[in-house]
Amino acid sequence: MYRVFVLVYMLLSAWTSAEDEVSATGTTHRLGHSADTIKEDLRIATTHRNRRNSVANWLRLLLRLYLSEYGDAYEIEDIMEDTASIITGPGVLALVSGIDPLRAGPRLVVVTRSYQVFRFRNFFIAAGYTLCDQASMVPPMAPFLSVESDPCIASVTQLSRTRDGLTRCVDIYGTSRYPEDMVPTFNATPYMNYFYSNGFAMLYPQMTMDRCGLIRSSDEEQYMPSTALPLGLHGYDLSDDVFDLARYREICPKLSRTPGDDFFLELEFRRDDYECRPILDSWESCSLRE
């Protein structure tokens, strides 16, 4: 009974305020939300700073449900905080686009400093995962790293676990750079979103919400969304020419964003002190309305 009370309290705290009206727009699937719903919420966050706490708390619930598919969400968050690591890649893009991340980006992508890889590896092995070899059948994932990213990747550790017929895979990228500094090197602006231990960041929010993006010209043939990106960037209008998308003031020709600039969206999570911190099993798609 206490867990139910706390769960209801958390939901009310995340989705309501004195000026917010919450409206249910229907159920999609276990982890997916209506694309229109998530875009509306993120637009609210970009245009109404006083509403960001509500959107951030809702995203945190979304992240915890996603992480709970791979292990104890709170333990993963704790390791992320201790190691200053991030969760990113196709799964995160799918999650914030209202698409089921377990289908569009079937592997959890962790980016951490190379000397911290063992923290995640040990955690997932203790949770029943095994290291993958080249012969392992690991679900494919759309490529999100560019050739510019390669020199920064010191190691890639892949793990998988199958329970009750469901396979979950984890990729741990050990880097020589600070994890958040890796994000601007990705191959396309829509992938430049990530969760850190206490928040969410989107480097090109307006473009991503409008399903537009830039790709790196050096990777054009490899990454144009014909067959190379059938899942991760499906439906995006991509170009390698900055002038094709010149209507967006946030575009930088070198695909560089810095925290704190005029167009960088960052939502900080509120820390909770609940002794009992439940994980949502499912939810209805909710949208914060003005």
Per domain, the residue ranges of the chain are 31-270
pLDDT of amino acid 100:
81
Beta-bridged to residue 112, according to DSSP, are: 174
**Could you tell me the two tokens for 182?**
């890796």
Q: Would the pTM of this model clear 0.75, i.e. be above it?
A: yes
Full pLDDT tens readout for the chain, 290 residues: 434 333 333 433 433 332 332 223 333 445 555 556 777 777 777 666 666 777 788 888 889 989 999 999 999 999 999 999 999 999 999 888 887 888 777 799 999 999 999 999 999 999 999 998 765 667 778 889 988 899 999 999 999 998 888 889 999 999 999 999 999 899 888 999 999 988 999 888 888 888 888 888 654 445 444 444 434 576 788 888 888 887 887 776 556 666 556 678 888 887 654 433 444 443 333 333 32
On whether the CB atoms of residues 219 and 144 are closer than 8 A, the answer is no
Amino acid 3 reads R
- CA proximity to 175, closest of 184, 166, 163, 167: 184
Contact (Cβ atoms closer than 8 angstroms) between residue 109 and residue 169: no
Predicted pLDDT at 255: 61
pLDDT recorded at residue 249 = 73
In DSSP terms, which residues pair with 174 in a beta bridge?
112, 155
Q: How far apart are CA 167 and CA 103, in angstroms?
A: 11
Tell me: the pLDDT tens digits for 73-114? 999 999 999 999 999 999 999 888 887 888 777 799 999 999
Find residue 86's DSSP bridge partners: 111, 196
**Pairing relationship of beta strands 212-214 and 237-239 according to DSSP bridges:** parallel
pLDDT recorded at residue 134: 60
- Provide the pLDDT for residue 120: 98
Strands (DSSP E) along 3-152, which ranges? 21-24, 86-88, 107-113, 130-131
What is each CA distance from 237 to 36, 42, 97, 156, in whole angstroms?
17, 19, 14, 30
CB 9 within 8 A of CB 271: no
